[in-house]
């Protein structure tokens, strides 16, 4: 089995310090959380940014500032800036980080109910995001919240509308309004992607670690972090993203799966 790539989604756009005081807003806090995750074993950081008051933003300059500061503290880390941003942002707003020299970015694969809101990813939006990533040589991580997202993005890749093989998928399971976090859905999704693809799973809330355990055993990769879950265990808030990553490292060790460095993750993902 390949080594395990751990991604830390350190910030997100929805969670706040009211949910967990360690949720990062400022650049210093974002660097602190990224470093805690990398030091614990994360090869990748999935990045959202906030203004200092916690407001989510896709502002290019804020992304540049965060990326430069993280790279100073963690020079090798792979960064996956979000093009999802926060619900309600326009496509133009969301695309801003793709104007920067980045290796990867998320590409969300369809419109979904997202809690009580609608997370809009229309076909024209996805075409625009795919075109930008092809032009700027950015490898997408395809975020699939629903079964049909896989067919959608594979059809688009076949038509050359979004980057093709080797494709990296992130199966985000357990968002209220989207596919549930259970092993049947995960196995179905894994069996639906082309050979030679790579995949990771994100289990939302209390599903974070059970889904991580499935992925470790199945040969996939794992995402954890405050964007998806704030608790180390029932009733115990995580003090840092690093604590969440460290728990995955422990699970991997128990299951005999070595953890990939960022350099090893670049090889596995086919990054140059």
Q: How far is the CB of 243 from ligand KMH (least distance, A)?
A: 21
CB closer to ligand KMH, 7 vs 262 = 7
Which one, 7 or 259, has the nearer CB to ligand KMH? Answer: 7
Which residues contact residue 17 at a Cβ distance below 8 angstroms, ignoring those fewer than 6 apart? 23, 25, 54
CB of 14 to ligand KMH, least distance (A): 6
- Name the residue nearer to Zn ion (CB basis): 87 or 217: 87
Q: Which does 65 bind (CB under 5 to 8 A by kind): ligand KMH, Zn ion, none?
A: none
Classify each residue of 232-264 as buried b or exposed e, where b means 16 or more C-beta atoms within 10 Å of its C-beta.
Answer: beeeeebebbbbbbbbbbebbeeeebebbbbeb
Residue 241 near Zn ion by CB under 5 A: no
Count of residues that interact with Zn ion, criterion CB under 5 A: 1
Surface-to-core class of residue 73, CB atoms within 10 Å of its CB (0-12 exposed, 13-18 middle, 19+ buried): middle
Q: Which of Zn ion, ligand KMH, none sits in contact with 59, Cβ below 5 to 8 A by type?
A: none
CB of 1 to Zn ion, least distance (A): 27
Beta bridge partners of 259: 4
Binding interface with ligand KMH (CB under 6 A): 13-14, 82-84, 86-87, 106, 108, 114, 119, 143
Q: Give the closest residue to 207 by CA, choosing from 172, 255, 239, 246.
A: 172
Give me the residue whose beta carbon is nearest to ligand KMH: 84
What does DSSP say about strands 198-203 and 168-173: parallel, antiparallel, or unpaired?
parallel
82 binds Zn ion (CB under 5 A): yes
108 touches, from Zn ion, ligand KMH, none (C-beta below 5 to 8 Å by class): ligand KMH
Alpha carbons 115 and 79: distance in angstroms, whole number: 27
d(CA 110, CA 227): 19
């Amino acid at each position: 089995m390949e080594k395990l790539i751990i991604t830390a989604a350190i910030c997100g756009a929805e969670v706040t310090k009211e949910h967990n005081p360690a949720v990062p807003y400022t650049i210093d806090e974002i660097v602190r959380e990224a470093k805690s995750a990398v030091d614990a074993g994360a090869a990748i950081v999935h990045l959202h940014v906030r203004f200092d008051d916690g407001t989510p933003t896709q502002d290019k300059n804020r992304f540049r500032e965060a990326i430069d500061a993280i790279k100073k503290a963690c020079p090798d880390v792979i960064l996956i800036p979000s093009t999802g941003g926060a619900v309600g942002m326009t496509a133009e707003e969301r695309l801003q980080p793709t104007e920067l020299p980045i290796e990867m970015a998320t590409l969300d694969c369809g419109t979904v109910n997202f809690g009580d809101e609608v997370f809009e990813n229309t076909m024209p939006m996805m075409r625009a995001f795919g075109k930008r990533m092809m032009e700027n040589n950015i490898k997408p991580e395809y975020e699939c919240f629903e079964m049909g997202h896989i067919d959608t993005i594979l059809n688009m890749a076949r038509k050359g509308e979004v980057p093709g093989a080797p494709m990296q998928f992130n199966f985000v399971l357990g968002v209220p309004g989207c596919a549930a976090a259970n092993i049947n859905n995960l196995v179905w999704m894994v069996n639906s992607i082309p050979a030679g693809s790579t995949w990771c799973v994100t289990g939302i809330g209390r599903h974070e670690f059970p889904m991580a355990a499935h992925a470790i055993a199945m040969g996939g990769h794992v995402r954890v972090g405050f964007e998806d879950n704030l608790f180390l265990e029932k009733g115990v808030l995580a003090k840092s993203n690093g604590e969440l990553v460290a728990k995955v490292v422990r699970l991997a060790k128990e299951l005999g799966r070595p953890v990939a460095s960022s350099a090893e993750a670049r090889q596995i993902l086919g990054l140059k």
